Amino acid sequence: MSAANGHARSSASVIRVGETVTVIGMQVDIGMPYFQLYIQDEGATPGDSLALPLTYLGQVSGVTGSSAVFEVIAAQADLNEAVFVLRGRVPGAVQVWIRATGEVHYGYPGSATWSGGDSDPITLTVAE
């Protein structure tokens, strides 16, 4: 990843069906960030995952894919971080990561370029 990227953390790694977990992504050196939450169910192919885009203004648009294990019940963002609340639907495990993209300056004064990166994946498990 480049110097501009993001990282993520979760409030828990194992929950029960019906419980919630909060996943927080923080941008690093990115202006006006756009966040994208990815949830890939265990055993799914890399391109077969839920992708939920979220602007720094908290606007969601163009959600693609789905997850059998988790549903997203809330999403909000600002210029520094994105917060996603997930509810466990059925027992299983997923990989979750967040991408942050936006304006990146490689020195001042100077123009910005569009760049970003992905957080390391987090494994979340839903137990019965």
What ranges do the domains of the chain cover? Answer: 5-109+123-127
**Beta carbons within 10 angstroms of residue 51's beta carbon:** 16
Q: What is the pLDDT along the chain (128 residues), one digit of tens a residue?
A: 334 556 799 999 999 999 999 999 998 888 899 999 999 999 998 778 999 999 999 999 899 999 999 999 999 999 999 999 999 999 999 999 999 999 988 777 778 888 888 999 999 999 99
Sheet holding 81-88, edge to edge: 5-10, 20-28, 81-88, 70-77
User: DSSP labels for 54-116?
Assistant: EETT--B---B---SSEEEEEEEE-SSEEEEEEEE-SSEEEEEEEEEEEEEESSSSS-EEEEE
Handedness of CA 53, 59, 63, 66 (dihedral sign): positive
Pairing of strands 70-77, 31-41: unpaired
CATH H-level superfamily of 5-109+123-127: Immunoglobulins (2.60.40.10)
> pLDDT at position 7, please?
79
Q: Measured between alpha carbons, how far is 110 from 122 in angstroms, rounded to an integer?
A: 35
pTM of the model: 0.90
Smallest Cα–Cα separation from 14: which of 110, 128, 124, 104? 124
